Chains A and B, each alone.
Chain A
Amino acid sequence: MRAHRLARLAPGLAALVAGLLVLGPALGPGFVLRYDMVFVPEPPVTWSTGGFPRAVPSDLVVALLAHVLPAPAVQKLILVGIFVLAGCGAAALVPGNRVIPRLAAAVFYAWNAYLAQRLLLGQWALLLGFAGLPWAVRAAARGGPWRLALALIPAAVGGFQAMLVSALAVLPVAATGSSRRFRAPLEALAVLAVLSLPWAVPASLSHAVTDPAGVDAFAARADGPFGTLGSLLSLGGIWNAQADVPGQAAWVLAGARLLVAVTAILAFVRLPRTADDAGVPYGKGLLIAASAGLAIALAGAYAPGVLKGMIGLWPGFGPLRDGQLYIAPLVLVQAVGFGMLAGRFSRPDAAGRRAAVFVPAVVGVLLPVLVLPTLAWGASGRLAAVEYPDDWRRVQEIVNGDPRPGALISLPWGAHRAFPWNGGRVILDPATKLFARRVIWDDTLLVGLAGGRLLRVPGEDLLGRRIGVAIGAGGGPLTSILRAAGIRYVLIAGRDDNVFPSRLPGAIPAFVGAEVLLLRL
């Protein structure tokens, strides 16, 4: 009985160990800050405050949880939880009751290039959807709106990217895995629509715009020796070179990952795919989803004009520009296929030798780690926890303690920061998360291209664009312009890097620190 229970817990424990190994230094005191992953102390409970609601409702949920637990603990729980949820979910999709296939699938789904690269890009909200994806697929295959709604909660918390990736997998699984051919996908669509309301409504009200140029910036690319297609099949291919796992492009390891990927896909394809055969009712739908996801990712790389045309027709196609994120169903296909392969190679032999099971099982379970070893220990130091300097806490107290309305503008006029206290890691401006009022910032995205060229993807927030034009128009005074735009505070990070205060005659310093300057208009 005890052995049986241990066997049931094994995938979850393996995924937990994988998570602890990957996060490593990120589990120390303080916050992990990297690219889109910006957690702040005492986050305010606010809804979307302008621009496209990228962090809705994820930031709100974090803020609510931070009322119960310290914010750094909330972040660590979410990050560790992603690994455990992901691993358990992949294991639950593996047909049969044998431990080794489930264990191998769990480790694969918790230790792969997709999860690693999205983690290094700080997209924890998307990873919530990735972690919940196996559960959503399982629920869609079984049918029932309430079961599906429960399974989609992580994705619903994650927001628009997580829900889009989930929809990509859930709809074909619901359409192909149930005898209720017409009712099941309609039910799934309704559940997806309802759970998408928290971000879909503010998105439709935000008047956000999407520049088709974003396709060139965010299309999948080769991150190893096997081109874009090879990278995507190996579950990498993210647009940002800084999100690569260190050393992932080495020939031996990249080749091994591609080989594992292809054999895992073949193993999945050979699975029986109907409920009548062997209880894998999600197989056909998941294969459709994986193929569609791969096609979206390849479209950005090989047919960018098509995507640009679609985005030009309707900005709602904008999320397709980062096509690599839609290969999440392919990760799941490979994880289940890999689990089945590990099970096949570790089955007992005719002589009943324990080594025939043990040796292939150990190698199989460890294989995902061996082909991407530098993901360990915070991706070899790329992830680490740091404390915010006191200056940031002080300006947060001042601004959030002020009952008078008015927005805050964050300077320097750029979306990303690289603070020395954060080890020079690039992060989204933390001012966007710190304050319980509208924060106006430059959401223009700058992406470096080959040859040192810089691609500028215009921001989506129209008010931000207007303010940006005013700031960029010469060096004249801005106080009256900003006041007219409803701005009460100007926050300037890195005081030595700009001369902006001279353009704000009449502004009153509300806080002057080594890290930040806060001016009240």
Chain B
Amino acid sequence: MVRVLAALVVGVVLAIGASVGVVNVVAPSPEPPNKPLYNYGNR
């Protein structure tokens, strides 16, 4: 029973964390400046 409860708690906490993470990422953010980007990437 302890295992079930622990799994439920972990699952719920992570599901909430995941939901917040997804909402933060898909929330509208200012459009990035439209400039040519020729770098391979940034560190």
Of the residues A374, A448, A494, contact of B41 by C-beta under 8 Å: A448
Asked if A247 contacts B10 (CB within 8 A), the reply is: no
Asked if B43 contacts A247 (CB within 8 A), the reply is: no
Task: Give the one of B13, B18, B41 with max A CB within 10 A.
Answer: B41
Interface residues of B in 22-42 (CB under 8 A from A): 22, 24-26, 32, 34, 36-42
Asked if A450 contacts B43 (CB within 8 A), the reply is: yes
Asked if B43 contacts A221 (CB within 8 A), the reply is: yes
Q: How far is the CB of A245 from chain B (nearest CB, A)?
A: 9
Smallest Cβ-Cβ distance to B4: which chain A residue: A359
Given contacts A247-B25, A250-B24, A380-B26, contact A359 B39 (CB under 8 A): no
Of the residues B14, B18, B25, B39, contact of A447 by C-beta under 8 Å: B39
Smallest Cβ-Cβ distance to A364: which chain B residue: B7
Of the residues B8, B14, B40, B43, contact of A256 by C-beta under 8 Å: B14
Residue A345, interface by CB 8 Å: yes
Asked if A239 contacts B15 (CB within 8 A), the reply is: no
Residue A31, interface by CB 8 Å: no
Residue A417, interface by CB 8 Å: yes
Q: How far is the CB of B15 from chain A (nearest CB, A)?
A: 6
Residue A295, interface by CB 8 Å: no
Asked if A363 contacts B7 (CB within 8 A), the reply is: yes
Smallest Cβ-Cβ distance to A376: which chain B residue: B22
Asked if B36 contacts A497 (CB within 8 A), the reply is: yes
Q: How far is the CB of A419 from chain B (nearest CB, A)?
A: 10
Partner-contacting stretch, out of A21-29, A158-166, A365-373, A393-401:
A365-373
Residues of A within 8 A of B38 (CB): 412, 414-418, 426, 446
Residues of B within 8 A of A363 (CB): 7-8, 10-11
Residue A355, interface by CB 8 Å: yes
Interface size class of A (residues with CB under 8 A): 35 or more
Residues of A within 8 A of B36 (CB): 418, 494, 497
Of the residues B17, B26, B43, contact of A241 by C-beta under 8 Å: B43
Given contacts A360-B3, A363-B7, contact A374 B43 (CB under 8 A): no
Asked if A374 contacts B42 (CB within 8 A), the reply is: no
Smallest Cβ-Cβ distance to B26: which chain A residue: A380
Residues of A within 8 A of B11 (CB): 359, 362-363, 366, 370
A426 to B41, CA, bound (A): 8
Interface residues of A in 236-279 (CB under 8 A from B): 239-243, 246-247, 250, 252-253, 256
Residue A215, interface by CB 8 Å: no
Residues of A within 8 A of B40 (CB): 35, 240, 415-416, 426, 445-447
- 24 interchain pairs, CB-CB under 8 A: A35-B40, A221-B43, A246-B25, A247-B21, A247-B22, A250-B17, A253-B21, A256-B14, A256-B17, A359-B7, A359-B8, A360-B4, A363-B8, A370-B11, A370-B14, A371-B14, A373-B22, A412-B38, A426-B40, A447-B40, A447-B41, A448-B42, A448-B43, A449-B42
A residues adjacent to B (C-beta < 8 A): 35, 121, 217, 221, 239-243, 246-247, 250, 252-253, 256, 345-346, 349, 353, 355-356, 359-360, 362-364, 366-367, 369-371, 373-374, 376, 380, 412, 414-418, 424, 426, 445-450, 454, 494, 497
